[in-house]
Structure 1
Amino acid sequence: MTMIPILILAAGASSRMGGRDKLLEDVAGEPLLVRVAKTALATGHPVSIALATDRPQREVALAGLDLHRVPVPLAREGMSESLKAGFAALPGGGPVLTMLADLPDLQTDDLRAVLATAAKAPDMILRGAAQDGRPGHPVLLPGWLRPEIEALSGDEGARALIQRHGDLVRLVPLPANRALTDLDTPEDWEAWRATQADIKTRAS
């Protein structure tokens, strides 16, 4: 399998968390950001992570992990800056698997499923989806999209590219709703933790 690089987008401001940093929230004894990074690293593919320069605590949390850190000095201008910085730091012009850093349910096998699909559909935009077909993450962006990524601005992210090239998008079904679970607010975290506690209780 081609060693497609993975780019974790972790430069967001957590603006809906009431002062807390969602990427440093505890998940099974470690910060969410660390959990996501380890999930990506376990694929064996090279992993880069786009980080805002004004959030040093995230860098501290990632200490010791074999990641290529990509600084995003203009992170406050929107998701486009993270994508542009990340792709600029990955030479070669090939595809990149992008994933958000606030997806606690994604597992290494989910990433591998999307990466494996790329071998069969190298020119397609691949998007992880829930079992019921709702599109989510991660998103594999083929190399031919790089010029359009460089032209993004503001809070345009992969969604803008997907909308523009909808006929070239292929969904990759992943178990349950793992492709969809992102946690943006304290209420999201409370509900998710309650669900995890319930699953643990039923399994015991």
Structure 2
Amino acid sequence: MTDGNVPIIEAKKESIGMIGMAQDYLDAANFTNKGLSEGLLAMRFEAPIDFLFAHGLELVLKGCLRMTSKPDLEVGNYQHDLDRAYWDLKRIWPAATNLAESEVRKYWKDKLRTMNAGHVASLESFGISDKNDLAEFGAVTNSDIGQSLPELGKVISWYSQLHNRSGSSFRYLKVGLVSRPALKIAGETLDATRESLSVGVQSLISTAENEARNG
């Protein structure tokens, strides 16, 4: 592949650099988010964590688009529009985005089924086994879980709306409430945004790295 007058090796170098930095932002986001959730870190605002996730996503999307020989100037024109970058990548390199979407669904399916099974086992230890009684105490079916799985595209749209607003709402203080998509199961509320994005970005990074090594 060639990119205008730029040899493929130069485009690949640029994309590999973006992918590597995307991994660093993702690692920093996961580390900081873990510290916050475990009470090891106190923050006045959580927006910096979302900025790390959003910028990691931005870098991996632009790196993947660069890898498909999309011109550097055109890639730069996406700015913070994560939605447009993602859907363009989905059109140009569907194998990469389809795998990321599949891995996000599998992550949540496995996690939610495991949590639900533990919840059911706990209820049954107290003699609650009738399916109607179990449902009343928050137990769900595999079908219920399947219908509630987060979709990577919708998570990216949520990040895009905030990241693309006035130089990124994650970087500057904005007045107003932000509604974050979440999941509830077995009496717990789970962050459907950060976990989904983490899995999706890691999948795209791995796909891009494999392509760089073997392509």
Q: TM-score, normalised by structure 1?
A: 0.26
Q: Whose Rg is larger?
A: 2
Greater relative CO (CA pairs within 8 A, separation 6+): 2
Instruction: Select the structure that is richer in strand.
Output: 1
Q: TM-score, normalised by structure 2?
A: 0.25
